[in-house]
Structure 1
Amino acid sequence: MSNDNDAPLPEGWEMRTSRSTGMTYFLNMYTKKSQWERPDAPADPGDVRCSHILVKHAESRRPSSWREENITRTKVEALDLLKSYRKQIVSNDASFTDLAMKYSDCSSAKRGGDLGMFSRSQMQQAFAEEAFKLKVGQLSKPVETESGYHIILRTV
């Protein structure tokens, strides 16, 4: 008969032994919170901090921004623009912050795209899924949400 403790733990968890009781407990490696119950899902890092560049298009939820009152570009044009920004960042031809400040359709542009700390539930699902997958310093591929297309840089 197999023991539950033989199965690998979900990502982000560590099994530890209590020095005082000798009992096994589980530690969330992101939040450093512990629990007695064996986790059945990957550890949630709690809050993350990311910056992003948003390119809106005519079908975006709100097709206007601080840069343009009426955004008329197509989805394809928006995605192509975003890919060109990503290429410039990856090739070190431009900094993420500079591109965000000049071209992002989000009001976070004035902060170089910085969104501050946020939890998974504070963002649209596709954005949150990508943001929480990234490692610190990692840049996402383009992500589509109701707002438009984003590239996300995980900073914390």
Structure 2
Amino acid sequence: MAPPYEVRMSSSRGIPYFFNTETKQSTWDAPPELSQAEVDALPGAAQHLRGEPRPSQVRASHLLVKHRDSRRPSSWKEANITRTKEEAIEILRGYQAEIGGSKEKFIELATKHSDCSSHANGGDLGVFKPGQMQKAFEDAAFSLPVGQFSDIISTDSGVHIILRTA
């Protein structure tokens, strides 16, 4: 599973810090359990650690699996979603294994299985700008190179695999 961290910028000190999205704790130093490659792959690392400019907009697709603690635990497939977050993550891990690096397989699985209405478009969310998506989703989508998949990202909506398409 992806480390539960993202890199954010301190508005008071103007320097980056590491925020644990599960515990809601922050630290100035990189978490010692992460390798340098894992730190470099964190949402927000490109912008806040390496100074790479953030694009003004991106286009992305996703495959969403909701769980009972999602903000709206229902979808076009299920009126009442009762799976745990851990079960939702395991489902996505299975999809990751099927996808490999195939965009075509991703689209197929998103169409069949995503708990988002975007399933009708193969998971395509269209173009969006900063501030239009939940922060963890936005940070992941904006930090991905075009054509790359995220690891599992958790938001209030559920758990996602994101594919940046433009």
Under a length normalisation based on structure 1, what TM-score does the superposition of the two structures give?
Answer: 0.71
- 1:82 alignment counterpart: 92
- Residue 69 in 1 paired to residue 98 in 2? no
Structure 1 residues without counterparts, runs of 5 or longer: 1-40
What is the alpha-carbon distance in structure 2 between the residues aligned to residue 151 and residue 132 of structure 1? Answer: 14
Letter of the aligned partner of 1:111 in structure 2?
N
**Distance change (3 Å), C-alpha of 1:91 and 1:131:** closer
From 143, 155, 158, the equivalent of 1:133 is: 143
Larger radius of gyration: 1
- 1:112 alignment counterpart: 122
What is the alpha-carbon distance in structure 2 between the residues aligned to residue 42 and residue 151 of structure 1? Answer: 23
Pairwise CA distance, 1:44 = 2.3
Pairwise CA distance, 1:86 = 1.1
Under a length normalisation based on structure 2, what TM-score does the superposition of the two structures give?
Answer: 0.67
What is the alpha-carbon distance in structure 2 between the residues aligned to residue 98 and residue 83 of structure 1? Answer: 16
Q: Write the mapping of 1:1-156 to structure 2, written as runs, cut at 5 A.
A: 42-90=52-100, 92=102, 95-156=105-166
Percent identical pairs in the alignment equals: 56
Pairwise CA distance, 1:89 = 0.4
Deviation string for 1:25-54 (max 9, x for gaps)? xxxxxxxxxxxxxxxx64220110000000
What is the alpha-carbon distance in structure 1 between the residues aligned to residue 156 and residue 90 of structure 2? Answer: 17
Pairwise CA distance, 1:72 = 0.4
**Distance change (3 Å), C-alpha of 1:107 and 1:123:** same
What is the alpha-carbon distance in structure 1 between the residues aligned to residue 146 and residue 52 of structure 2? Answer: 18
Deviation string for 1:120-156 (max 9, x for gaps)? 2100000000001100110000000000000000000
What is the alpha-carbon distance in structure 1 between the residues aligned to residue 134 and residue 115 of structure 2? Answer: 16
1:122 counterpart SS class = coil
The count of corresponding residues between Structure 1 and Structure 2 is 115
